[in-house]
Amino acid sequence: MTINLVRSEGGELGLSRILFEEGQTTPTFWCASDEGELAFVDWSIRPVVQGEENRPAEYIQRIFESERNSRPVLALERSPFYDDLLLTVHDYHFAIWKISLEGREEPIFRSANSSGSQNTCGAFSPSRPGVIFITKNNGIDIWDFYD
């Protein structure tokens, strides 16, 4: 099965990462685009409205364009301790999103751009809340937001 994700301003939304929840029973997911955006998608079957047969279904429920750039997101992770926190890792920075905040279109934290190295991946610590690991092409950064 395939679905076409269409931006509200037109054009398709290509995905680089998809995040499902464990034990999920709804057809929804968070995803990161090829251009760095974070989006929430509901791919429930949509009834065709008479007269709008050629109009694409609107699966994208929320889209956050504040991190949009020309490169795909390298990692998309959910915090194992806080269900409403997501991590996106981009080439030169990372962002933490609090998805429960309605109306907020930007991350609650955005790291400064790194110089001299590129990010390669990242993840929340599985054993310690507030710790994030960011791997780089020359090593690893460990961020402790409780320290």
Give 99-110 pLDDT, tens digit per residue: 999 888 899 999
Distance separating alpha carbons of residues 9 and 18, to the nearest angstrom:
22
pLDDT in tens, 87-131: 999 999 999 999 999 888 899 999 999 888 999 999 999 999 999
Four-point Cα dihedral 91, 95, 100, 102, nearest 10: -90
Query: What's the pLDDT at 48?
Result: 65
pTM, two decimals, is: 0.86
Residue 4 vs residue 136, higher pLDDT: 136
DSSP letter assigned to residue 6: B
In the chain, what are the domains? 15-144 (2.130.10.10)
99-105 long-range contacts, CB within 8 A, separation 24+? 99/30, 99/40, 105/64, 105/65, 105/66
CB-count exposure of residue 125 (10 Å: 0-12, 13-18, 19+): middle
Neighbours of 101 (CB within 10 A): 11
13 has a pLDDT exceeding 90: no
Query: What's the pLDDT at 52?
Result: 64
